[in-house]
Structure 1
Amino acid sequence: MRRVVITGAGTINPLGASVPATLDAMQEGRCGIGPLEIRDVDRLSVRIAGQVGGYDETAHFDRQQLSLYDRFTQFALLSAAEAVAQSGIAFNGALAERAGVVLGTSGGGLNTQDDNYRAVYEEGKNRVHPFIVPRLMNNAAASHISMTYNLQGPSFTVASACASSNHAMGQAAQMIRTGLADVMLTGGSEAMLCFGGVKAWEGLRVMSKEACRPFCATRTGMVQGEGAGVFVFEERDRALARGAEILAEVAGFAMTSDAGDIVTPSRHGAVRAIAGALRDAGLAPERVGYINAHGTGTTANDRTECAAVRDVFGGHAERLVISSTKSMHGHLIGGTGAVELLACLMALRDGIVAPTIGYREPDPDCALDIVPNVAREARIDVALSNAFAFGGLNAVLALARA
């Protein structure tokens, strides 16, 4: 099996419009969650979110492009541009056929869908723009990335709710490992902060009206966010031969299904995914120093995840550092694993572990070192990124210091 490394990273999310800005915010423990600014927000009971602030689509794309790009596609393209620039790769000649893109999203072009439901059902219009389907389809972002960079290899979209990004990145890594591709752009993007998107999540009664406080006894639920993260995954020998800067190695990946309940998480499914990623990487549990937790700020998720970590790591669980950056940027649903992978890169490369902010009182069922409120310096050689989705779909990535 060939080895896979990361040679480029890009993002736009509530904490920043680039990787450096995002990592600075994570180090500072800055909160990107605030008042939600969308149409008809007064009709919502939940009025906070992790929104990309000050975003002007016309500053990045022309009129013709905007007729094709939903907000989630825009975020993906901006993130891909930063990642490809950092990698220094030009997808020309034979490489074009050996390169592809796997992107995760849950809602796809939900803003486009929401706008056009309004046009047809509220305003009574009988015609919509001819490009509505190409805008709202889940594969739109992946397709536009492939066209922008001439990626002629495997290209598709993964939709597995909150695990979409991790599933996408895991599949991209496997394609390079097994020789189906040499370079893959991968990650995830989501833009569900429209009236219909927020109203749907309100119905689940898992949303907080004040803040996201994972692992805290006074938690009140999750907070939605939006944004994207895209990475360049590359076969290790190829990256070394061209003198590329290696950000980290994708050492292992595993995915499991609870095969249980559509919304209630299973400790056993999470255990199998975490243990499977370690087994795939050939790593003993004691090698892991940091876990970027799924950590949604709901009681069911937080307690289940902490129980799974104890099951896998035993006594070593007390020596792990664990944090949920959702406390800062919110839950980006299909894009969340990609943005959270940046915290793993920061821990491995810079020796700085992002905090779990908003922490007030300990929950006895989450009595692990969750790096409360303030970032911490620590040498980390191996980091895990957890994603546990509705539908019982679990995906865990293991990254190792380059």
Structure 2
Amino acid sequence: MLKEPISIVAISSLSALGSTPKSIWETYQSSDHLLQERVLNGKKVWVGELPHSEKEAIGKLRESDSKYKDLDESVLFSIYTSRKVLKQTTWCSDAAERPSFGINIGSSRGATALFEAFHDEFKNTGKVSTLTSPTTTLGNISSWVAHDLQTAGPVISHSITCSTALHALLNGVAWLQSGMADKFLVGGSEAPLTSFTVAQMQALKIYSNAKRTYPCSAMDVKKKSNTMVLGEGAAMACLERGTPSNSLAKIIGIGYATELLEHNVSLSLDAKCFQDSMKMAMSDVSPHEIDAIVMHSPGTIKGDLSEIEAVHRTFGKQVPFMTTNKWKIGHTFGASGMLSIEMACLMLHHQLAIPVPFVTYSSVPKRFERILVNAVGFGGNAVSVLLQKA
């Protein structure tokens, strides 16, 4: 358990769900997925794209400042979402001083589209543009957010593949618990809908080519093929120590674990890393006090089954309600963990479950007090975060 609770006092996201709390919650109430077919590499593939209105907003952001016109969408997503989440707080209310809070925003892939474009330029001409290096480095993301918000405080970027956003949250918690910071902005951003990135997932034979009602069958234990679909988006949360009056949810436990590698992308059949991270996050909290788990569940056969097996081994006969959002919006890589945190916060706030429509549940909770959120990166780098209703 943590020395003291850490509160999420604001959260904001950008994904196929939209970007406002009202529209996101309303969209979660529908059993329809938000995945679309797009032509990449000469073939139709499923993707989770931003709505047209949000794409226009990102375009306006790019045009609003000459320094922003050369930035990758992963950076623009971060700036856009960070601006929105800060409006929910008083962190920037004193115009006389630069706001002082930490920033830790990560990404699995970083400046994907720009990197591919610059590499094509190099192959074709043997030269690269002047801004190639500074606009494709991963440190771009948090640094540009700090510039945009004019903040004073530690600025950190990192990549731990699909568990990146939750590792950012862990890092923010550590800074707050140590007393080295009073406030931290944490999250993840991903703009992976490019030909090369999708081709990489197809090469792993995990990408969906399903012609079915739900192209991504995350948590479907009976599926016979891999059904992962990539989505774009970003999600940010503002963390503070204690339980202030504007707390949306309390972080009362964190867990992390890494498996010994047997393969570059492997998880054991019972996802030992998840067993360890969930037990660490729960600490003194009894398994029967957990009302729900927002699963990582990428839509792959092995990934889904191993995490579900880890839950059964950890909870025994008292398995909580399990859900995920990847069937609806796709896998947003480094941003996915924070989108799952947002989903958990919404269930805690509205006291209503968000089920997976094609999963059969023996029961669905009528109230939510504590929700566990999971994420894992390539090679078994797992994180679990235990949230409690504020």
TM-score by length of 2: 0.90
Distance in 2, Cα, partners of 1:272 & 1:6: 24
2:11 to 6, 9, 12: 9
Matches within 5 A, 1:165-176: 165-176=165-176
Distance in 2, Cα, partners of 1:260 & 1:127: 36
Matches within 5 A, 1:41-60: 41-44=40-43, 47-54=45-52, 55-56=55-56, 57-60=58-61
Q: 1:94 to 1:182 in 2, by over 3 A?
A: farther
Q: Which residue of 1 aligns with 2:83?
A: 81
Q: 1:172 to 1:101 in 2, by over 3 A?
A: same
Q: Would the aligned equivalents of 2:106 and 2:141 in 1 still touch at CA under 8 Å?
A: no
Q: 1:263 to 1:118 in 2, by over 3 A?
A: same
SS at match of 2:299: coil
Distance in 2, Cα, partners of 1:338 & 1:370: 28
Q: Which residue of 1 aligns with 2:378?
A: 390
Q: Which residue of 1 aligns with 2:278?
A: 274
Q: 1:13 to 1:370 in 2, by over 3 A?
A: farther
SS at match of 2:239: strand
Can you give the 5+ residue segments of structure 2 that lack an aligned partner in the other structure?
Answer: none
Q: 1:76 to 1:393 in 2, by over 3 A?
A: same
Q: Which residue of 1 aligns with 2:185?
A: 185
For 2:377, give the aligned amino acid. A
**Number of corresponding residues:** 375
Q: Would the aligned equivalents of 1:102 and 1:185 in 2 still touch at CA under 8 Å?
A: yes
Q: 1:391 to 1:98 in 2, by over 3 A?
A: same
Structure 1 residue 291 displacement after superposition: 0.5
2:309 to 300, 303, 307: 307
Structure 1 residue 91 displacement after superposition: 6.7
Distance in 1, Cα, partners of 2:172 & 2:74: 20
Distance in 2, Cα, partners of 1:97 & 1:86: 15
Q: 1:233 to 1:399 in 2, by over 3 A?
A: same
Q: 1:30 to 1:184 in 2, by over 3 A?
A: farther
Regions of 4+ moved over 4 Å: 91-98
For 1:399, give the aligned amino acid. L
Q: Which residue of 2 aligns with 1:246?
A: 247
**Alignment identity in percent?**
20
Can you give the 5+ residue segments of structure 1 that lack an aligned partner in the other structure?
Answer: 363-368
Q: Would the aligned equivalents of 1:105 and 1:165 in 2 still touch at CA under 8 Å?
A: yes
Q: Which residue of 2 aligns with 1:224?
A: 230
Q: Would the aligned equivalents of 2:35 and 2:48 in 1 still touch at CA under 8 Å?
A: yes
Matches within 5 A, 1:348-363: 348-357=348-357, 359=358
Structure 1 residue 69 displacement after superposition: 2.1
For 2:77, give the aligned amino acid. F
Structure 1 residue 63 displacement after superposition: 5.0
Q: 1:394 to 1:370 in 2, by over 3 A?
A: farther
SS at match of 1:165: helix
Structure 1 residue 152 displacement after superposition: 2.4
Q: Which residue of 1 aligns with 2:161?
A: 161
Distance in 2, Cα, partners of 1:195 & 1:162: 19
Structure 1 residue 98 displacement after superposition: 5.0
Distance in 1, Cα, partners of 2:20 & 2:341: 14
Q: 1:102 to 1:226 in 2, by over 3 A?
A: same
For 2:229, give the aligned amino acid. V
Q: Would the aligned equivalents of 2:321 and 2:365 in 1 still touch at CA under 8 Å?
A: no
For 2:228, give the aligned amino acid. M
Alignment root-mean-square deviation, CA? 2.2
Structure 1 residue 205 displacement after superposition: 0.4
Q: Which residue of 2 aligns with 1:321?
A: 321
Distance in 1, Cα, partners of 2:128 & 2:150: 34
Distance in 2, Cα, partners of 1:110 & 1:32: 22
Q: Which residue of 2 aligns with 1:365?
A: none
Q: Which residue of 2 aligns with 1:124?
A: 125
Q: 1:383 to 1:118 in 2, by over 3 A?
A: same
Q: 1:389 to 1:95 in 2, by over 3 A?
A: farther
Q: Which residue of 1 aligns with 2:105?
A: 103
TM-score by length of 1: 0.87
Q: 1:96 to 1:383 in 2, by over 3 A?
A: farther
